[in-house]
Amino acid sequence: MPDVVRVAVAGIVALLGGERRDLAEVGLDFRGVPEFNRRAYEVARAVSPGKTVTYGDIAHRLGMPGAAQAVGQAMGNNPFPIVVPCHRVLAAGGKDGGFSAHGGVRTKRTMLVIEGAIADEPTLF
């Protein structure tokens, strides 16, 4: 197995095992990915573990404030879920939105809990 793949797999396994990991260093081949999507994925990759942004935030960072829905579609077509952390991208108002990887929104919420972006269970404090 090539080293780049070994590093990616180890990082994903660690993250799904409960370790807070940033996979931004994992190299990706964006050939065949539309330019808008690639740019949206690059913005998403800059979001640190434990932080979240909205589709609208990414649209603004791209200089296209009216493109929140297009960002949502790009995240839904993400060919590299977890490595491009679309789980850190939420709908307006902090709502979950969707998640295209196995397990859907439940997996998205689990990953956000692992990363410390949301609480595991509702609390008063």
Amino acid at 122: P
User: Dihedral sign, CA of 74, 45, 43, 91?
Assistant: positive
**Rounded CA separation 55/53 (Å):** 7
* 84 to 90, 101, 121: CA distances (angstroms): 14, 11, 26
Buried b (16+ CB within 10 A) or exposed e, 46-66: ebebeebbbbbbbbbbbeeee
Is 21 an active-site residue? no
- Catalytic residue, from 40, 68, 74, 86: name it: 86
Catalytic residues: 86
